[in-house]
Amino acid sequence: MADRRFTNTTAVRQLVLASSSPRRRELVGMLGLSLPVLVLSPDSDESTPADWSPVRIVEQLALRKARAARTLLPNSADRESVIVGADTIVVLRGEVMGKPVDVAEAHRMLSGLQGTEHEVYTGVACIHARDESQESVSHRLTRVTMKTLDDAAIHRYIATGEPMDKAGSYGIQGRGGVLVERIDGCYFNVVGLPVSLLSDMLAEFGVDVL
């Protein structure tokens, strides 16, 4: 449970999910919140300086997504909302992998990931729609070990189409689950939204899941 709450938080009446990811939508649904949930897909700059650490990348991109949604909420009813943004990356021996741009890049990523361990970072930002002083950002790290795969198996997996909209070119929640030997850390963090971290962060805004 959260060990801090923002003071002067007026009752939050809505959760705004700043994401176009169907997985994130599903995971927020899993929380069974009594608040209405509004989903927005704001555009935000996803470029980052080369010297940023994985933690800085995911936390700042999550914050940018949430702040971009804030600009889309002009009317006063929507202003009493907590906005949630998230960003997920895969990191293999220091190399940051986002979503592949094409099949060749998916192949290159999966060839690197197979037979070894990598890290998955998801940053989460929860911000108040009206009060810019209320912003909370955090992240989770999960270590994932992928089984050894031959080239033919990598090609067959890419042919499913699953890799193309996912960081690191796999989806643990889909057929990509069969590629994963073990994980150390939060499973939902790999899928794109660490729900236990999110529930702690929502509590800071007076939104209690349980």
Chain contacts with ligand TTP (rule: CB under 6 A): 19-21, 23-24, 41, 65, 86-88, 90, 99, 120, 165-168, 170-173, 176, 190-192
Number of Cβ within a 10 Å radius of residue 145 = 14
CA dist 59 and 121 (Å) reads 9
Closest CA to 149 of 198, 125, 114, 123: 114
- CB 187, min distance to ligand TTP, A: 9
- CB 126, min distance to ligand TTP, A: 14
Task: Count Cα neighbours of 118 within 13 Å in the Cβ-side half-sphere.
Answer: 28
Identity of the residue, 20 or 199, whose beta carbon is nearer to ligand TTP in the bound complex:
20
Q: Is 43 a residue of the active site?
A: no
Partner residues linked to 144 by β-bridges: 118, 183
Name the active-site residue from 87, 131, 151, 208.
87
Identity of the residue, 171 or 205, whose beta carbon is nearer to ligand TTP in the bound complex:
171
Measured between alpha carbons, how far is residue 150 from residues 107, 110, 116, 147 in Å?
11, 10, 13, 10
- CB 18, min distance to ligand TTP, A: 7
- Catalytically active residues are 87
